[in-house]
Amino acid sequence: MSLLFFAFLALIALIGASGVILSRNAVHSALFLLLNFVVFAVFYIMLGAQLLGVVQVIVYAGAIVVLFLFVVMLIGGDIGPVRSGLRRYARWVAVVSMAIFLLIMVLGLARSLPPTVPAAMAPDAGSVQAVGEALYTTYLLPFELASLLLLAGMIGGVVLARRYRSHTEE
């Protein structure tokens, strides 16, 4: 039952991922990306990481996809043909190399772990309390550094997106 549910969700995630790279319209790509992110949130909750599931919906599905859609709105969604300026064989080289990469990854992963499920974690191990406690005690320094990084990103975004007034104009 659980396995069937997983297979269903995995199929939706793969449809979303393929839709992102196959759509001709950037808006469709962003919406397929949203589908992918929401399915991942369900996966996190299935894996006992409730807080991460909520964060995934808020940050990725909420903030990042909306940011993408805003930029698409500003610069236009029609982005022309999928392969412009790329030679035809280069595309197939990319496909074949990714297929080989995937084959190596899957072959490596298939024998890396025992097939049984250890279920070592308590069901509420990823709760807000547990993860918050870890973040604010053991991992306080990385947490604060992440806030510094967010501040730097904010300043960078404002500086880059600002409209420069050139001196020749005045």
| Footprint of other proteins on 96-155 (CB under 8 A) | 97-99, 101-102, 105-106, 109-110, 112-113, 115-121, 125-126, 130-131, 134-135, 139, 142-143, 146-147, 149-150, 152-154
Site residues (CB under 8 A) for other proteins, limited to 7-46: 10, 13-14, 17-18, 20-21, 26, 29-30, 33, 36-37, 40, 43-44, 46
Q: Taking the complex as a whole, how short is the minimal distance between the CB of residue 170 and other proteins, in angstroms?
A: 19
The answer to whether the CB of 136 falls within 8 A of the CB of 143 is yes
Q: Which amino acid is at 80?
A: G
CB 83 within 8 A of CB 91: yes
Nearer to other proteins, 85 or 168 (CB): 85
Whether residue 39 contacts residue 9, with contact meaning beta carbons closer than 8 Å, is answered with yes
Closer residue to other proteins (CB): 118 or 170: 118
- 61 touches other proteins (CB under 8 A): no
The least distance separating other proteins from the CB of residue 73, rounded to whole angstroms, comes to: 11
127 Ramachandran zone, left/alpha/beta (phi>0; psi -120 to 50): beta
Q: Is 78 helix (H, G, I), strand (E, B) or coil?
A: strand
Q: How far apart are CA 131 and CA 148, in angstroms?
A: 20
